[in-house]
Structure 1
Amino acid sequence: MAQRVNRRTSLTVGAFFEKHHEALSMTLLSDRRGFERTISEPAPNRPGLALAGFFSYFAKKRIQVLGNSEVSYLKKLTPQMRSERFGRMCERDIPALVISRGGVLSEDLLKIAEQHAIPVFSTRLVTMNFLNAATLALENEFAPTTTLHGCMVDMKGIGVLIMGKSGSGKSETAIGMLERGAALVADDLVRVRWAGNELTASAPDLSRGYLEVRGIGIVNVANLFGLTSIRPEKRLDLVVNLTPHADLNEVDRLGLEAKKFEVLGQKVPMVEVPVAPGRDTARMVAIAALDQQLRRLGYNMADEFNQRLMEHMASQG
């Protein structure tokens, strides 16, 4: 099935500040002019070379972060040289300036930034902590995403995406897993993004914590199973495809055949679980999740059985 991939190409300074200012301990030092400026690269930049007069390869599309080194350097320059270097940097339409360690800009530099309508912020974080946190935040904002139809649960640390045709029992299976201690991440629409070298699944804000069960309707999972039965997001470790019992002969019985499900260019382990009346599908999916947990630890039960079988056949020969 073709997956529609969404890729953000830019983010306004205003949107970044509104969403992340608390986590990044940011406060606004200037007015709000320039909030419509766009950040086009998902990483901040320290403009030390630019302030020294070297603008070749200057990363002007990034948020510029002034740490102790940059601030101390500017203080050692003559007022004329300081204004000239800082002005040349601002002329390149940088998105915004952030001063770390609760620092502030001198009045002359703040006026230059305001003349170019460049927002200036201060953060209480030390420079490296801000750089790391801001990079993670920007990577999440710019990460490629897609939406899958299924039900995502966290089963004892393993993120399981339950997929299948309409009416195959995805939500009912999720309910059975919640009764076994799992936590719901998303139902029906599952948002998956690729960031930080891993796939992470979450739910749209409107439907988070709710699950649709045929014949009953929409249920509030937290009300039924408690707050610990909800996870805002989870790494995607395993895809379980619920298949009709009529396709039983097409399902791998020994688990030796490693199947994969591709999402956002990444291949995720996948197993197929046949669905039939009276069959405890939730238990089968829970076992598949525990098996995947063992595989992540380097233990493969199917390979172990196959090795024992080969040794038995060799001894009989």
Structure 2
Amino acid sequence: MVEPVTVKELVKANPTLKVIEGENFLDQRVISVSDISRPGLELTGYFDFYPKERIQLLGRTEISYSKNLNHEARQKVFKRMATPETPCFVIARDLSVPQELIEACNQAKIPVLQSKLATTRLSSLLTDYLDEKLAPRKSMHGVLVEIYGMGVMIIGNSGVGKSETALDLIKRGHRLIADDRVDVFQKDEKTVVGEAPKILKHLMEIRGIGIIDVMNLFGAGSVRDQSEIQLIIKLENWNPDSNYERLGLNENKKELVGVSVPQITIPVKVGRNIAIIIEVAAMNFRAKRMGYDASKKFKENLAELISDNSKEEK
């Protein structure tokens, strides 16, 4: 279930927006879709497909056209646009707001906002914000840390040592995003983002100690609010019968909210420093993405060795 965004939250998150009218209505109006409407046809009187549930954004074109209408026509069209479902009106470029629009919005209890940004830029900014806030979220069991600027999600059975490993990584200079529960959502077709639930933000649970505040203990540089999830590390107790990856030739993937994310399985065993192994795994993953693959280098060396031996035998 996706929680709608109030107009008050929209204004608070976007400092470029200022309230012209309807300060008392900000909490009452909610936004449930990320699409933005540019009501050009509506100004001409065509309302057959009016997207009344969207933010109504008026730029230079819309305001200029409305000025060519007479007073009665502006009253009529703005009154029809100000529906009970309309969250707010936004005027771009600091353009003057038609008095008829203010009157219609006051009557319908709809906030009127204004921004100095150009219309296209403002539309993109609001859409990006709403896409993120209104994206369906899935809560997952795991720990999300940022290692060398890359989001790494650590998963595994309860008690395998995820939080303790993350704590070791934080001590090594990396950053915590979420511990125990990670809220993940799809930012676009290729990007999945993770963040902590509000109640767990910057907090960790360490068995034997309890809840600790990472930012308070390690400083503001040890935490981050959210991060793209680029790699998944699965921790599992060492099983001698399991066939673990030895060369790194195969890349497994796990799907998170519709996005495939590379996954590496690391066996946990007494004497293995899991934090350092994860750190190296993250560096090796980045090296692969930059074009250097140690496993391919090994295959090339092996092929060269076989070729040299064949020549010697001849």
Structure 2 unmatched runs, 5+: none
Encode CA deviations 1:208-231: one digit per residue, 9 max, x unaligned: 212222222222222332221111
Per the alignment, residue 249 of structure 2 pairs with 256
Matched, 1:124 2:116: yes
User: Which letter does structure 1 place at the counterpart of 2:8?
Assistant: F
Per the alignment, residue 70 of structure 2 pairs with 78
Matched, 1:160 2:152: yes
Question: Taking structure 1 as reference, are residues 132 and 251 closer, same or farther at Cα in structure 2, changes over 3 Å only?
Answer: same
Question: Taking structure 1 as reference, are residues 36 and 172 closer, same or farther at Cα in structure 2, changes over 3 Å only?
Answer: same
Matched, 1:49 2:32: no
Shift in Å, 1:174: 0.9
What aligned pairs does 1:1-317 form with structure 2 within 5 A after superposition? 6=1, 8=2, 11=4, 15-31=6-22, 32-33=24-25, 36-90=28-82, 93-197=85-189, 198-247=191-240, 249-317=242-310
Encode CA deviations 1:73-98: one digit per residue, 9 max, x unaligned: 11122222222333333358433211
Cα pair 1:24 1:123 within 8 Å, conserved: no
Shift in Å, 1:282: 0.5
Question: Taking structure 1 as reference, are residues 52 and 42 closer, same or farther at Cα in structure 2, changes over 3 Å only?
Answer: same
Query: TM-score, length-normalised on structure 2?
Result: 0.89
Cα pair 2:252 2:262 within 8 Å, conserved: yes
Query: TM-score, length-normalised on structure 1?
Result: 0.88
Question: Taking structure 1 as reference, are residues 40 and 215 closer, same or farther at Cα in structure 2, changes over 3 Å only?
Answer: closer
> What's the C-alpha RMSD, in Å, of the aligned pairs?
2.2
Structure 1 unmatched runs, 5+: 1-5
Cα pair 2:92 2:116 within 8 Å, conserved: yes
Cα pair 1:96 1:120 within 8 Å, conserved: yes
User: Which letter does structure 1 place at the counterpart of 2:231?
Assistant: L
- In the alignment, the residues of structure 2 paired with residue 146 and residue 257 of structure 1 have an alpha-carbon distance, to the nearest angstrom, of 28
Cα pair 1:248 1:274 within 8 Å, conserved: no
- In the alignment, the residues of structure 2 paired with residue 92 and residue 51 of structure 1 have an alpha-carbon distance, to the nearest angstrom, of 18
Higher alpha-carbon deviation: 181-190 or 104-113: 104-113
Give aligned pairs, total. 308
Shift in Å, 1:278: 1.6
SS at match of 1:146: strand
User: Which letter does structure 2 place at the counterpart of 1:286?
Assistant: E
Cα pair 1:101 1:127 within 8 Å, conserved: yes
Shift in Å, 1:271: 0.5
Cα pair 2:52 2:85 within 8 Å, conserved: yes
User: Which letter does structure 1 place at the counterpart of 2:118?
Assistant: V
Shift in Å, 1:284: 0.5
Cα pair 1:145 1:193 within 8 Å, conserved: yes
Question: Taking structure 1 as reference, are residues 248 and 155 closer, same or farther at Cα in structure 2, changes over 3 Å only?
Answer: farther
Cα pair 1:35 1:119 within 8 Å, conserved: no
User: Which letter does structure 2 place at the counterpart of 1:118?
Assistant: I
Cα pair 2:78 2:100 within 8 Å, conserved: no
SS at match of 1:237: strand
User: Which letter does structure 2 place at the counterpart of 1:18?
Assistant: E
Identity, in percent, stands at: 34
SS at match of 2:144: strand
User: Which letter does structure 2 place at the counterpart of 1:193?
Assistant: F
Higher alpha-carbon deviation: 194-203 or 214-223: 214-223
User: Which letter does structure 2 place at the counterpart of 1:268?
Assistant: V
Encode CA deviations 1:27-54: one digit per residue, 9 max, x unaligned: 3333335854443421211112221233
Shift in Å, 1:245: 1.3
